[in-house]
Amino acid sequence: MNLAEVPPGTHVVLTSARAGARLTPTSDVRLRELGLRPGAGVTVALRTPFGGRVVLVGRRRIALDAATVRRFETAP
């Protein structure tokens, strides 16, 4: 299941991140710095308009756009 399909309030583990044509290598590095990397546990806090999500990684709240959310595969 990818992160875009996870309902709010659900905790999942990121299993992989597909490379995105929209993202620059700098963007990928920044996502890893924020804790969004394979093996990280995240909780989907809420859905945003147009398919984005706000996720909790540890004590951080991170807003992601729809294209970025679709890159991440998850496991329960």
Which CATH number goes with the domain that contains 12? 2.30.30.90
Residue 11 vs residues 22, 56, 66: alpha-carbon distances, Å: 27, 9, 18
pLDDT for 21 equals 53
- Domain count of the chain? 1
Domain that holds residue 21: 3-75
Average pLDDT over residues 45-62: 94
pLDDT for 43 equals 97
Which stretches of 1-76 are assigned E, i.e. beta strand?
11-17, 41-47, 53-57, 60-64, 72-75
Residue 60 has pLDDT above 70, yes or no: yes
Q: Which tokens in the block code for residue 8?
A: 């709010």
Give tens-digit pLDDT for 7-52. Answer: 999 999 999 887 665 656 678 888 889 999 999 999 999 999 999 9
